[in-house]
Amino acid sequence: MNWQAIWAIYTFEMSRFFRTLLQSFVSPVISTSLYFVVFGAAIGSRIDEVEGVSYGAFIVPGLIMLSVMTQAISNASFGIYFPKFIGTIYELLSAPINFLEIVMGYVGAAATKALFIGTVILATSALFVDLTIQHPLAMVIFMLLTCLSFALFGFIIGIWAQNFEQLQLIPLLIVTPLVFLGGSFYSISMLPAAWQTISFFNPVVYLVSGFRWAFFGIADVPIGLSLLAIAGFTLLCLGIIWWIFKTGWRIRS
């Protein structure tokens, strides 16, 4: 394993993040504050509790998941797409490093950025509501796995995309709606029976449910299913990336 190459890619990607640290820090704080104003104050004034948890606290795991997923995807997709766009990806492919080391560098940096944003949002949420995390270790594990899996997914999008419009297509049209419809701001049990059944086909439901369980000990689906879902998604992304580098799909052409 060429750790020096991994570190070089990782630090290069992180340096781009730190150059805009103020923007990276202030933006999620403002967005989170607006969500609490709109959902916590406006809707929360009409919904006191959801499954024994105040509505303001109930939406915190969903807010964190929403930001972590979108940030992991956008950072990873742009990180690998830009070398494709300017042609420097051929320098990586000709260097004495394998695909796993390339993925570890780019995905590791994207996951780190998403983890930072998630931590900032968690700290910001504590300013608005009283939070008690019942299972802190499980919360950390879920957040790390989510950062990693969606950074891998973003890496795939970055390789698939052939222009900047396609780079934003899947996050805007697929991922964000799935997060909003995945129980981020409500419990699946609040829906009619037919819509509950439909919701269980949304993979984000399992991630949000498991993450919420780490906070409050309540979940829409069993915690084992949530872990199985995120582990399966991670393995699927790894398999697709392995196939991409093996065949050179949209990398060498």
Angle, CA of 169, 250 and 88, to the nearest 5°: 100
Q: In this predicted model, what pLDDT tens digit does every residue of 113-154 receive, in sequence order? A: 999 999 988 988 888 888 889 999 999 999 999 999 999 999
Residue range 80-111, pLDDT digits in tens:
999 988 888 888 888 888 889 999 999 999 99
- 43: confidence class by pLDDT, cuts 50, 70, 90: confident
E strand or H helix at 247:
helix 223-247
Domain ranges of the chain: 3-247
Give the pLDDT confidence score for residue 102 in this predicted structure. 93
Task: Give the model confidence (pLDDT) of 61-72 as tens digits.
Answer: 999 998 899 889
Say if CB 205 and CB 188 are below 8 A apart: yes
pLDDT at 233: 93
